[in-house]
């Protein structure tokens, strides 16, 4: 499950549309991996599937 705290929600409000979704994915990836993905393949397939369902 993906959850955002108040600080993260504030950061997401500054983005719009597709940028917000991409930024949210990068933010969570960084939180878990302590690095940014080098390519789309670095992001787990489950994350891609979840986002495509939303």
Distances in whole angstroms, Cα of residue 28 to Cα of each of 17, 42, 54 = 17, 13, 16
Q: What is the pLDDT, as a whole number, of residue 34?
A: 93
pTM over 0.75: no
49 CB neighbour count, 10 Å cutoff:
9
Reported as a single tens digit per residue, the pLDDT across 1-54 is 567 778 877 777 877 777 888 888 888 888 889 999 999 889 888 887 877 776
- Enter the tokens of residue 54: 């939303």
């Amino acid at each position: 499950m993906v959850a955002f705290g108040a600080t993260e929600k504030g950061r997401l409000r500054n983005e719009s549309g597709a940028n917000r979704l991409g930024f949210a994915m990068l933010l969570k990836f960084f939180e878990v991996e302590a690095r940014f993905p080098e390519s789309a393949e670095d992001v787990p397939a489950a994350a891609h599937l979840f986002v495509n369902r939303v």
